[in-house]
Structure 1
Amino acid sequence: MIMIIRRWDGDFLTAKKLIENNTLGRVVEYESHFDRYRNFLKHNWKEEDIPGSGIVYDLASHLIDQALWLFGEPTTVYARIMNQRKLEGTKTPDSFEIQLNYDNDVEGDYASLLVSLKGSMLIKEEKRLRLMIHGVEGSYLKYGLDVQEDQLKAGLTPLKNEDVFGKEGREEQWGELTTSNSEGHAITKKYQTLPGTYIEFYKNIAEGMN
């Protein structure tokens, strides 16, 4: 079972808003990343050679769920799943590239859409790409993962720290939105990330149990 809580990541909520509001026009390319850098084994079950382990079950599942929630079922799927670190003691996959293709011959919002989902344990860049979305009217680029997981590890909670929880504290963390002005020239500006709201996932569970 996929933990669908990542549907309430701030970066994903922002992308969803831009797409649903048609800010980018018809979307033609959606690229989503979940990258880390760890060139050693952490020695937990996720990196053991057992069913359900590896980066696809751990991280790709979230990106797949987000893409299906946004765009629905694709026409075709292509995937490369690899072990790139080649570390002694495991052959568990640690890299993936998954493409979801939407039929080029049909009419609709997502005709000829290409969705690329990527993840690796060997991305050492200081700024790691999270989302890149291109539409016929504009583009959105976002670096860095949602802040909620790190905030929870630091002891913050959405109830006790409502003023800051789920929010990116610095403008440089925001994504970049590129559109055109009235003269057709490209204009790029910072676009504030919506607050992440994991608490909504648990509210939905509580409502379903009542």
Structure 2
Amino acid sequence: MALANSNPNTPARQVRVGLIGYGFSGKTFHAPLIGAVPGLSLCAVVSRDAAKVNADLPDAVVYADPAAMLTADDIDLVVIATPNDTHAPLARAAIEAGKHVVIDKPFTLDLAEARALVALAEHRGVILSVFHNRRWDSDFLGVRRAIEDGLIGTVSHFESHFDRFRPAVRDRWREHDVAGGGIWFDLGPHLVDQAVQLFGLPDRVQASLAKQRSGAVADDWAHVVLSYGERRVVLHAGMLVGGGTHRFTVHGDAGSIVKHAIDRQEAQLLAGMVPGAPGWGDDPDPLVFHDGTAPPREIATLPGDQRRYYSGIADAINGTGANPVPPIEALWVMAIVEAAVQSSQAQASVALSLTDEERRA
């Protein structure tokens, strides 16, 4: 793939970014994180509410139509932060226009769409990446280090919760009965991606999805078990959890690690904190280590920093680093997300629909 500034001695140029969508994800996550990375310049936004965009980004050009921005010569990278059913068609149009592309999770609605985009990006010689920003969360980084350091020995049980307390069903597309709606397509990709980063591809997937809140029309409860031989990885998300659960619980043959609180970066962004400001990504909630004999021991949690995703994107476009989330890894996540839906419908465990080549990549 021929990229700009592939010579490491050449100063990296500013990557000009166009953001499609300025709803919750675009406004809360993408715009602030892009704005906090020196190698990126957020030049344009596609939105039907120009006043909303310009109140935050007075220098950005606002387009009402994605097609108009995709033909602009002054955009290098297109970031797609729109409803899930639009990810694939918008990404396809951006790639065909010769733009590098970042897609908010989930990658696509299914594995077939994901495969088609991966092939098209490879053919056109552009970078394609998926915004799996939770790889740079404090809670995950702390648990990952504990596992890699061998603190708890060989992992037998890994449990990851992404729970919220939202008893009332809200009128927003994520909670509608639409393709890509529901909690599994919303939070599941985060849980799956973190599990794959730690353990690779599972042998089988067993899942149960449910609509538990009064008036729910899309799944708002998900319980998914990934099997790795005798190891079990439990991924759970629910909307009726007022408290009392842990973000991570990990058991091994040398002890257990518990992490109670979730990473604070989303809360900091919602509070208006600028990424990189003092305290950004700090996590005062420690990991707690149990070995069955001594009193529990607290271990400081590593700070999180989701800016690292976009720093990696800037480096990849400038030819000075690797894509932080390569397409094949996003494809693996989609295979598991899709398998979970199939498992819940069939009420049976299923294997991943990946080719041998995709598994080896």
Aligned residue identity for 1:28: S
Alignment of 1:91 onto 2:217? yes
Q: C-alpha distance in 1, partners of 2:137/2:170? A: 25
Offset of residue 190 of structure 1: 1.4
Pick the aligned partner of 2:300 from 184, 192, 195.
192
Alignment of 1:206 onto 2:278? no
Larger Rg: 2
Pick the aligned partner of 1:175 from 287, 302, 305.
287
Q: C-alpha distance in 2, partners of 1:23/1:165? A: 27
Structure 1 residue matching 2:288: 3-state secondary structure: strand
Q: Residues 158 and 232 of structure 2 are in contact (CA less than 8 Å); yes or no, is this contact kept in structure 1? A: yes
Offset of residue 123 of structure 1: 0.7
Q: Residues 257 and 290 of structure 2 are in contact (CA less than 8 Å); yes or no, is this contact kept in structure 1? A: yes
Q: C-alpha distance in 1, partners of 2:222/2:235? A: 8
Counterpart position of 2:266: 149
Q: Compared with structure 1, are the counterparts of its residues 191 and 150 closer, same or farther at alpha carbon in structure 2 (3 Å cutoff)?
A: same
Q: Residues 282 and 304 of structure 2 are in contact (CA less than 8 Å); yes or no, is this contact kept in structure 1? A: yes
Counterpart position of 1:166: 281
Pick the aligned partner of 2:146 from 18, 34, 54.
18
Q: Residues 256 and 290 of structure 2 are in contact (CA less than 8 Å); yes or no, is this contact kept in structure 1? A: yes
1:33-44 map, 5 Å:
33-44=161-172
Give unmatched runs, 5+ long, in structure 2: 1-106, 108-129, 319-361
What whole-Å deviation, never above 9, does each CA across 1:60-105 have from its counterpart, x for those lacking one? 1100111011100111110001111131xx42000000000012xx
Q: Residues 27 and 134 of structure 1 are in contact (CA less than 8 Å); yes or no, is this contact kept in structure 2? A: yes
Q: C-alpha distance in 1, partners of 2:312/2:291? A: 35
Q: C-alpha distance in 2, partners of 1:32/1:187? A: 24
Offset of residue 203 of structure 1: 0.5
What whole-Å deviation, never above 9, does each CA across 1:4-53 have from its counterpart, x for those lacking one? 00011100001110111111100100000000111111211100111011
Structure 1 residue matching 2:291: 3-state secondary structure: strand
1:79-158 map, 5 Å:
79-87=207-215, 90-103=216-229, 112-125=230-243, 127-158=244-275
Aligned residue identity for 2:281: G
Q: C-alpha distance in 2, partners of 1:60/1:6? A: 12
Q: C-alpha distance in 1, partners of 2:170/2:131? A: 21
Q: C-alpha distance in 2, partners of 1:122/1:36? A: 6
Structure 2 residue matching 1:34: 3-state secondary structure: strand
Give unmatched runs, 5+ long, in structure 1: 104-111
- Where has structure 1 moved over 6 Å in runs of 4 or more? none
What whole-Å deviation, never above 9, does each CA across 1:172-201 have from its counterpart, x for those lacking one? x22211136xxxx33311111110110110
Aligned residue identity for 1:156: M
Offset of residue 124 of structure 1: 1.2
Q: What is the percent sequence identity of the aligned residues? A: 37
Q: Residues 143 and 287 of structure 2 are in contact (CA less than 8 Å); yes or no, is this contact kept in structure 1? A: no
Q: C-alpha distance in 1, partners of 2:206/2:294? A: 33
Offset of residue 3 of structure 1: 2.8
Offset of residue 128 of structure 1: 3.5
Aligned residue identity for 1:177: F
Structure 2 residue matching 1:6: 3-state secondary structure: helix
Q: C-alpha distance in 2, partners of 1:71/1:147? A: 25
Q: Which has the higher contact order (CA 8 A, sep 6+)?
A: 1
Q: Residues 25 and 135 of structure 1 are in contact (CA less than 8 Å); yes or no, is this contact kept in structure 2? A: yes
Offset of residue 157 of structure 1: 2.0
What whole-Å deviation, never above 9, does each CA across 1:94-141 have from its counterpart, x for those lacking one? 0000000012xxxxxxxx21100011101112x431000001001111
Q: C-alpha distance in 1, partners of 2:142/2:184? A: 24
Counterpart position of 2:331: none
TM-score normalized with structure 2 length: 0.51
CA RMSD in angstroms, aligned pairs only: 1.3
